[in-house]
């Protein structure tokens, strides 16, 4: 995986604080962040922010993506409607590694209500530094698209 990435990031109201923390954290590591919102705590609809992140990755404007909401289920479901997107809900460092190694995931979904700041940082660090293993996993990934 490249050291410096262009990362699209988006969230709903439940993920705003974690999004801002991760933007600062990842920019300090030399990554470029494309902030797709939201920018406040007022209730919003998560698809309005998941679609722009998925589109950025789908159209190769971003190398990878981060989506954050309360559970991360809604943002992952939404992003996975896009061709070529493999959004994985990650709540543990080991899950983030497997999402990359076995599934070639290109968007990490983080459940803001169930992760500490440190757990979220560990998950994104692992996600962005772990390579897809290919091999027997490639045939499985090839069967995902409809």
Compute the distance between CA of residue 17 and CA of residue 61 in angstroms, rounded to an integer: 24
* Residues acting as catalytic residues: 69, 102
Average pLDDT over residues 25-29: 97
Mean pLDDT, the chain, rounded, equals 96
Report how far apart, in Å, the C-alpha atoms of 72 and of each of 13, 97, 136 are: 12, 17, 28
Question: Does 79 score more than 70 pLDDT?
Answer: yes
Q: CATH: 3.40.1400.10, 3.10.450.50, 3.40.50.300, 3.40.50.10490. Which one for 6-142? A: 3.40.1400.10
Q: Is the dihedral of CA 78, 23, 95, 104 positive or negative?
A: positive
CA nearest 74: which of 26, 29, 113? 113
Q: Is the pLDDT of residue 65 over 80?
A: yes
Return the pLDDT at 133. 80
- Report the chain's C-alpha Rg in angstroms: 14
Q: How confident is the model at residue 2 (pLDDT cuts 50, 70, 90)?
A: low
Give the global pTM: 0.96
Give CA–CA dist 43/61, Å, rounded: 28
The predicted model gives 64-77 an average pLDDT of: 98
Tens-digit pLDDT profile for residues 86-132: 999 999 999 999 999 999 999 999 999 999 999 999 999 999 999 99
Position 3 confidence tier, pLDDT thresholds 50, 70, 90:
confident
Distant-in-sequence, close-in-space partners of 125: CB < 8 Å, separation ≥ 6: none
């Amino acid at each position: 995986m490249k050291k410096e990435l262009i990362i699209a990031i988006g969230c709903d109201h439940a993920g705003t604080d974690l999004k801002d923390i991760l933007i600062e954290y990842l920019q300090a590591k030399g990554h470029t962040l494309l902030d797709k919102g939201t920018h406040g705590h007022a209730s919003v609809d998560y698809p309005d922010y998941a679609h722009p992140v998925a589109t950025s990755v789908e159209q190769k404007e971003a190398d990878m993506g981060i989506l954050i909401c309360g559970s991360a289920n809604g943002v992952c479901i939404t992003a996975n409607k896009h061709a070529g997107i493999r959004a994985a809900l990650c709540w543990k460092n080991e899950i983030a590694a497997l999402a990359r190694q076995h599934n070639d995931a290109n968007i990490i979904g983080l459940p803001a209500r169930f992760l500490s700041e440190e757990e979220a940082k560990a998950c994104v660090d692992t996600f962005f530094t772990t390579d897809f293993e290919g091999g027997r996993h490639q045939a499985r990934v090839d069967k995902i698209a409809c």
